[in-house]
Amino acid sequence: MMIAPLVVLQLALVQDAAAPAQPPAPAAPATEPAKPAPTSFGELISLEALEQSLRQLAASSDGKVTLASIGTSTAGRSIHALHVTNEPKRKVPVPAVLIVAGLDGWHRSGSLVAAGVAERFALEQRAAIDARTVLDGLDLWVIPVANPDAWAVGLARPQDHAGRVGARIDDDRDGRVDEDAPRDVNGDGLIAMMRRLDCPSDAPATRVADAADPRLDRAPDGAKGELAAFSLMVEGLDQDGDGSVGEDAIGGITVDANFPHLWREFAADAGRFPLEAPEAKALAEFIRTHPGLGAVYVLGRQDSLARTPNHERRDITGRTPVFIDGDDKALYERIGKLYRDSTGIERARDAAHEGSFAAWCYAHRGLPTFCSQVWQRPDPSPPPEDKKDAPKPADEDAAAWLAWSDRDQGSRGFLPWKPFDHPTLGKVEIGGWAPGFRTEPPSAMLPELITKHAGFVAALAGESARVRVERVKAREVAPGVTEITVDLVNDGRMPMTTAMARTNDAIPPLRLRAKVGIDALLSGDVERRIERLDPGSRASVSWTVRRAPKTHIEIGVHYPSGRFDRVIVDDDALLYGGRVLEGGWEW
């Protein structure tokens, strides 16, 4: 079967203007910024079309990319993973970076960026990064659509329900299921928000229009005698007559709230138990069966890079961090700076970490896990006139989004509030933010975003912990008695394990085990453990053993990643040092 050709990646080379033949030569024109390389993942398409592009990427990569299924969704769709490597049959294991995206239907651009990063690395000879050098010492795993069911629905559901899958749930506990979902009441094809103007005493008004821009709203200032004018709710009908609108939505479990760390036991969308959703279980099983992961990069609703997470936030017990431990703060600060320098992204929206995939990877598995919201609000163009006495908006970020929509996006980001006679609520206004406007970047931005995130992944790869045996020394301290010293070093820029991994023992320490009989071991324990090896630091472990001439002693080096090496000490080691035989995985 013929495979459709993949769009070829190429660097946009800037051609210098030809100099005139007659002197004097004019000043050289300013060099224009290089355009981002083309990509096959530059616009939102259907899930089927995206999967076809992934298959084409694997088919055209000369074996560097393999596409596999790691599980199936609630509706039976495959959850695909791309493996990008320079050496498909690599004998000596190397660290790996995992990229996960597409956990809900309101962040589909993250899936395109993740797949685009894989494409950049696969076609390194034409990419704007030195992918070959990166892949010589690292493998890349990409799960672009971790929740294909929600991805397929996309923006058709409100944002709060965009990641739900599976069994129907009685959200409002009235004995009926999915009977009062948000819906398009005014027939404009979108589910927006409603301002209820005639509010009864049992559901009083809570908001006022912002004087800076009446399209926005804020809480009334009681000290100034302000009275609330309306309440805000999702567009819908009170179909079950309980006085609430759109409170029992279609769909069941929010996948990115179904992981064990700080799982919200009584939340309607968190599932009956952690990992109930097959999508969540598939991701957890992938993490469990891939012990060599050096870092996880999640593209979606959370952020831990544009802003360093608050390490002081704890759960109700005061013992468990919501996201990062204080001893890992310096790591997240350094990687955050690397991210900001690579992508230019310095803004982020707030999002809960409780029950999320990223929080579980870090807190329960001990993996360095970093989150990105893919893009940030661009700066709006300057206003046509500066009104010095204009009131200041209550929410400056929302006002900036609105300004960018008005001045740079043809006002596509906000639906004007329009009066509507609601069948049960009376007078309302329907409008608000256009679905996805603040979560999905315009398609024109995607090629550049892919290039920037690929650059960050390449830089992140250079930060990985790289623990190795630096030297093996052997000396004869008495006839038939040998002292063996193994020196280890971390050449990378990350610690061997995170502080959280050391706290919860999620990742085993580095172990060195001497294969000698108890009678031959004169000093030192048979197994020695190294709990911590920070960037650039070293550790030494010594044994004194009885060793007859023409025999050898073997020491197994078991790394936290699951890799192991063998150290051989024989007669030659007394002159030249011991030999290190690189092994493989012991899992």
Residues 361, 266 share a domain: yes
Torsion of CA 486, 491, 496, 499, to 10 degrees: 120
Residue 381 lies in a domain: no
What are the residues facing 555 on neighbouring strands?
514, 567
Question: What does the pLDDT read at residue 54?
Answer: 95
- Using an 8 Å Cβ cutoff, are 532 and 506 in contact? no
Q: Which CATH number fits the domain that encloses residue 310?
A: 3.40.630.10
Q: Specify the pairing of strand 193-196 against strand 231-234.
A: antiparallel
Question: What does the pLDDT read at residue 14?
Answer: 28
- Number of structural domains found in the chain: 3
User: Around 42, how many Cα atoms within 13 Å sit in the side-chain half-sphere?
Assistant: 15
Residues 503, 405 share a domain: no
Give φ, ψ of 586 to 5 degrees. -100, 0
Cβ neighbors of 130 (< 8 A, separation 6 or more) are 124, 458
Taking alpha carbons only, the member of 530, 400, 392, 513 closest to residue 465 is: 530
Range of the domain at 312: 47-153+253-376+442-462
Q: Which CATH number fits the domain that encloses residue 507?
A: 2.60.40
What are the residues facing 567 on neighbouring strands?
555, 580
Averages of pLDDT over runs of 10 residues in the chain (587 residues) are: 34 30 40 60 87 94 93 95 87 85 90 95 63 76 95 70 61 53 87 93 93 96 93 84 64 88 89 94 95 93 94 81 90 96 94 93 95 96 83 94 96 96 92 93 94 93 89 92 95 91 90 92 94 94 93 92 88 86 59
Residue 263 lies in a domain: yes
Residues 409, 555 share a domain: no
Residue 66 to residues 61, 144, 188, Cα–Cα distance (Å): 9, 13, 43
E strands within 425-495?
426-433, 467-478, 481-490
Q: How many CB atoms lie within 10 A of CB 44?
A: 17
Residues 573, 558 share a domain: yes
Residues 405, 363 share a domain: no
Q: How many CB atoms lie within 10 A of CB 31?
A: 8
Residue 11 lies in a domain: no
Residues 268, 406 share a domain: no
Q: Which residue has the tokens 């990687």?
A: 335
Mark out the alpha helices in 311-425 (DSSP H runs): 329-343, 357-363, 396-408
- Using an 8 Å Cβ cutoff, are 506 and 500 in contact? yes
Residue 553 lies in a domain: yes
Residues 189, 148 share a domain: no
Residues 299, 210 share a domain: no
∠ at Cα 412 (410, 418), nearest 5°? 115
Residue 557 lies in a domain: yes
